[in-house]
Amino acid sequence: MEYAVLGGLVLGVWLLLLWLSIIVWVYRDIRDRTRDLGLQVLAVFVVMMFFPGMNLPGLALYLMLRPRESLEDAYARSLEEESLLREIGDEGVCPSCRRFVERGWKTCPFCQTQLRDVCRKCEQLLSFNWVACPFCGEQRRGGQATQGGEAAGVQPTSALAETLAESGPSTPAGEEVTSPQG
């Protein structure tokens, strides 16, 4: 008889702890899923209204009715959506005044910021971060389209060397001219 009482007491304590742990779990879970205080109280009440150890119907009801995603998941999803929208729509916004502009505009009509560059070969509008024109393949250097792969006004190194050789030595008399190769 003593063992039956002891067993009943252990079972009762276990059921009470199970009931309390489910209530605490539901409270923590609903707090992570909504900021609505009324919904939080209702969820905990639904689980608490059944007797200790018999709150499985309340837990099942809570699991069916709770919000699908936690606040953290919703926030992460909204940040991802916002970054995707910003990435897609970034070319449609002036970097200076942040107003919407057409993708084909060369200059912002609101603040007169230059939005695009023009390729010197095919005269198509180019983005400043492009290295080459996607329409004709012309190379760009320093944000300007170039002719024949050379920047305007800059001579290639072989032509520069020829110019220096023709102009004669520019060093004072008696000093040797050494080449960078050795």
| pLDDT at position 30 | 94
Distances (CA, A) of 133 to 126, 139, 149, 152, 167: 7, 7, 11, 16, 37
Q: How far apart are CA 27 and CA 162, in angstroms?
A: 83
91-132 confidence digits (pLDDT tens): 677 888 888 888 788 888 999 888 888 888 888 888 877 888
CB atoms within 10 A of CB 33: 20
- The single-letter code of the amino acid at 160 is L
The mean pLDDT of 136-152, rounded to a whole number, is: 57
The mean pLDDT of 45-63, rounded to a whole number, is: 80
Closest by CA position to 51, among listed 18, 29, 26 = 18
- The single-letter code of the amino acid at 117 is D
| pLDDT at position 31 | 94
Quote the mean pLDDT of the chain: 76
